[in-house]
């Protein structure tokens, strides 16, 4: 068992939630994660976000579609890739989220114990 939760598992958790909320395409999800975790000094690496998306596609959780970024095909030539759940992808995602939740709970327990043991925060 790993010491703390793996970075890619953490990223996948957020990508799944963003797809559940219909929040954008890969780059938008990366930027949203950067903003969410800026206060904690964490910047998810772009390469890890795209590897996680690729794995979720390979695992049959997501499928991709492409569309033009803007609304005018005569002017807007940039193509973006959108991610959606496969037919059984939402169920696979829910199972994955349950597994990650157990790992998060274990990590939080370890972190709280370390804080209490080393900084006397018990009872705060």
Looking at residue 2, what is its pLDDT? 78
Task: Give the helix ranges, DSSP H, for 4-67.
Answer: 7-20, 26-37, 46-58
pLDDT score for 52? 97
Contact 17, 32 (CB under 8 A): no
Model pLDDT, residue 75 = 67
Residue 52 burial (CB count, 10 A): 23
Domains and CATH numbers, the chain: 7-119 (1.10.10.10)
Spell out, as residue ranges, where the chain has pLDDT lower than 50: none
Read off φ and ψ for residue 3, nearest 5 degrees.
-65, -55
Q: Report the pLDDT value the prediction gives residue 98, as an integer from 0 to 100.
A: 97
């Amino acid at each position: 068992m790993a010491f703390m939760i793996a970075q890619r598992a953490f990223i996948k958790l957020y990508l799944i939630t963003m797809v559940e909320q219909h929040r954008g395409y890969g780059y938008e999800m990366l930027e949203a994660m950067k903003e969410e975790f800026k206060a904690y000094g964490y910047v998810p690496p772009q390469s890890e976000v795209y590897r996680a998306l690729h794995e979720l596609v390979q695992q049959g959780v997501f499928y991709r579609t492409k569309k033009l970024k803007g609304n005018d095909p005569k002017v807007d030539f940039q193509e973006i890739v959108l991610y959606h759940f496969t037919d059984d992808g939402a169920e696979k995602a829910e199972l994955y989220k349950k597994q990650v939740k157990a790992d998060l709970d274990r990590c939080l327990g370890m972190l709280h114990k370390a804080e209490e043991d080393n900084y006397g925060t018990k009872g705060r």
